[in-house]
Structure 1
Amino acid sequence: MREEEVRPLTLGGTRFSYRLLRQPGPRTEPVIVLGGGFQGSRGWPHMEDRIAPVADFVTADLPGVGESDPLPPGAGTEFAGAAVDRILDDLAAPRVNLFGYSYGAELAFGCAQRNPHRIARLMLGGVVSHTSAAQRESLQLAAGHLERGDTEGFAAVAARMQLCLDEDRHIPRRALVHRYVKRSMLHVAVHVPDVLAYLQRSLISSPSFDGGLAGVPALVFTGEHDSITSPDRQRAFAATIRGSRFAAIRDADHWVVLERAADVADLAARFFTGRSWDDAPYLTPAPR
């Protein structure tokens, strides 16, 4: 049985927490996992199974997630980023491995830019580096459903905009994943008071992935059918990180962490322990 500790923190009076699984004989620096919007500390079982045997494993309920306090009025990514920095300070590890997926990729990238000397390795997935006009229209539609109290309509739009529904692209268990994501979005609509404010912030601001990064070994990965930000855009973003590498996981879209959860966890374990992933059977061939 692994030693588990939930550590409460505050930032400007806002309460949040992180979950720490201790590894008495770690083979690499602690691994911090930051997920998508409203993805909390208990949502990473496959990562835990692969990472906890080799490193201290950290997940978080950032402000606005789980039992944590909502984000303060007007607060957004900068506040959430400051909460991530508080976790780094509280861990007191000289360096950490940092994994960020979707919204968590923005937080992880910003943290690495602020603290490059504290990041041993950086892994970013599903990087939403661009918001298209169609996506903004979907965000507006989803927000409108919430404003009218139509949680079912919100969940349907939110699920549809996150998944590749093109039947010509092979994604195993597509219907099952769609039902799961829709149900998750319905839960968010009913139980997360900050969701409308989150959508409104997304409409007036764009994710920040500017400024580049150097001195941190980095891996950017995506599902090969990601329809939120194309693999080509994510590959171009990876090129702004000096010395980074890029990987695409076959038969998956933006929800690659659900559709190919064991493969994402394996890729992370390889990267964070310095092992090669070139022979991983779940990756698409690199373009020549």
Structure 2
Amino acid sequence: MAEESIRSLSVSGVSYSYRVLRQPDRVTEPVMVLGGALQGMYGWPQMDEHMGPFADVVTADLPGMGSADSLPPGPCIGLLCAAIQRIIDDLDVPRINLFGFSYGAGLAYTCAQRFPGRIARLALGGVPTHITAAQIAHWRRAADHLFRGELESFATASTEGLMCLDERRHVTKRQLAYRYVRRSMLHAARHSPHTVDSVRRALTDRPDFSGGLSGVRTLVFSGEHDTVTSSARQRDFAARIHDSRFLSIPDADHWVVLERPLEVADMATRFFTDAPLSSAPCLFAAADDALAVGDPAYA
């Protein structure tokens, strides 16, 4: 029977906490899940359900998220990576598996670059490797709504900037995902003390995706209709990582974790337990652009 506990930590004088769902019969290293900048420790029930029988599942209210203290002004990637390393130390394990989605993908990737010896396997989804000037302009307009207190307009603009709304492209559960994301954005704007700072950071403090990575087995996955960064660009990003594999998931956009949550959780479970991805039901059959990089064992 898994047991849940919450631990409080601090880094550079900033307090935060993490949650661990402990599995006594685990078969792999703990799995830490990092999501969007406004997503806290209770946002991943599908990972609890799927990974819980096989591994300790770790989620967190990192600095600037959830119930944690706010981040200090200025660049914050280094402090957030230090907070994650502090969690690994507190877990008293040599290595963890790290799952990062969207904003969390950039954070997880930076951690793997900074301390690869502490990361057993790395899964990155919806990686925002390339943001256009038009996207930046869109997010600045969304931010202006937020700063003026126009919360409904902010929620609408931010949601539209994260989803594929082109009806010519089939996206599973598009309307359901749209309503969920917009409602979440509106709730954060009304209730989270970190929303304004999070939006500012998204515009000014982006991770560096230009470098490569070696020494960490990596899976990169994307919804085939991701409009934040295209599936093709995420494939190019994966190609710069030694010992990696890229998978494009059909009928999904940037919010693949909402539109195909069970399939994503199953994929992550297989990857972190070294089970074959090729036999996953209904997920990869249509992913004709699956790409194995650097290791024929992934094929």
Equivalent position of 2:116 in the other structure: 116
CA 287–2 in structure 1, closer or farther in 2 if over 3 Å, else same: closer
CA 46–153 in structure 1, closer or farther in 2 if over 3 Å, else same: same
1:214-229 correspondence to structure 2 within 5 Å = 214-229=214-229
Q: Give the Cα–Cα distance (whole angstroms) in 1 for the partners of residues 5 and 204 of structure 2.
A: 37
8 Å Cα contact 2:252-2:260 kept in structure 1: yes
Percent identity of the aligned residues?
54
Q: Which runs of 5+ in 2 are unaligned?
A: 292-299
Which SS does the other structure have where 1:162 is aligned?
A: coil
8 Å Cα contact 1:96-1:119 kept in structure 2: yes
Query: Which residue type is aligned with residue 286 of structure 1?
Result: D
Deviates more, 1:51-60 or 1:77-86: 77-86
CA 202–261 in structure 1, closer or farther in 2 if over 3 Å, else same: same
TM superposition shift of 1:202: 2.6
Q: Give the Cα–Cα distance (whole angstroms) in 1 for the partners of residues 205 and 32 of structure 2.
A: 26
The alignment's TM-score, normalised by the length of structure 2, stands at 0.93
8 Å Cα contact 1:130-1:207 kept in structure 2: no
TM superposition shift of 1:286: 2.5
Equivalent position of 1:209 in the other structure: 209
TM superposition shift of 1:75: 4.5
Q: Give the Cα–Cα distance (whole angstroms) in 2 for the partners of residues 122 and 80 of structure 1.
A: 17
In the TM superposition, what whole-angstrom CA distance separates every residue of 1:157-182 from its partner, at most 9, and x where no partner exists? Answer: 00000010000111122111111110
Q: Give the Cα–Cα distance (whole angstroms) in 1 for the partners of residues 269 and 117 of structure 2.
A: 21
Query: Which residue type is aligned with residue 206 of structure 1?
Result: R
Query: Which residue type is aligned with residue 62 of structure 2?
Result: L
Query: Which residue type is aligned with residue 247 of structure 2?
Result: A
Q: Give the Cα–Cα distance (whole angstroms) in 1 for the partners of residues 52 and 93 of structure 2.
A: 16
Query: Which residue type is aligned with residue 282 of structure 1?
Result: L
Equivalent position of 2:288 in the other structure: 285
Q: Which runs of 5+ in 1 are unaligned?
A: none
TM superposition shift of 1:237: 0.4
In angstroms, what is the RMSD of aligned CA positions?
1.3
CA 106–57 in structure 1, closer or farther in 2 if over 3 Å, else same: same
Query: Which residue type is aligned with residue 88 of structure 1?
Result: I
Equivalent position of 2:3 in the other structure: 3
TM superposition shift of 1:287: 6.0
The alignment's TM-score, normalised by the length of structure 1, stands at 0.96
Aligned length: 288
8 Å Cα contact 2:64-2:198 kept in structure 1: no
Q: Give the Cα–Cα distance (whole angstroms) in 1 for the partners of residues 203 and 3 of structure 2.
A: 41
Q: Give the Cα–Cα distance (whole angstroms) in 2 for the partners of residues 189 and 75 of structure 1.
A: 22
